[in-house]
Amino acid sequence: MRRHPVSSSALAAVGYDAARRILEVEFLHHGIYRYLGVESAIYRALLAAESKGGYFQARIRDRYPHERLA
C-alpha cells in the first residue's frame, strides 16, 4: 500500500485501501501499524484534521483492530 506523507508531529505518513478498509499509519518514532475495518470517512477526516495526531488518538487508536508491520 502506498502511504502519503502528512504534516504532523507524531505521524509521518498514512495510506488507505478503500476496497479492504485498511488504514496504514507510519509513526515518526513507533513504526508502521495497520488498522482494520476503517471507514473511508475516518480516513478522509484524518487527512483533513488540523491535528492529525490528535484525531488519530481520539478516533482511531484503540477503536480498531490493528497489527504492527515488520
pTM here?
A: 0.94
d(CA 36, CA 64): 6
12 by DSSP, 3-state: which?
Answer: strand
pLDDT score of 49:
97
pLDDT score of 60:
98
| Residuewise pLDDT in 10s, the chain (70 residues) | 899 999 999 999 999 999 999 999 999 998 999 999 999 999 999 999 999 999 999 999 999 999 999 7
Q: How far is residue 58 from each of residues 49, 53, 67, 68, measured CA to CA in Å?
A: 11, 9, 18, 19
Percent of the chain with pLDDT over 90: 94
Which structural domain range is residue 15 located in? 4-69
Number of domains the chain contains: 1
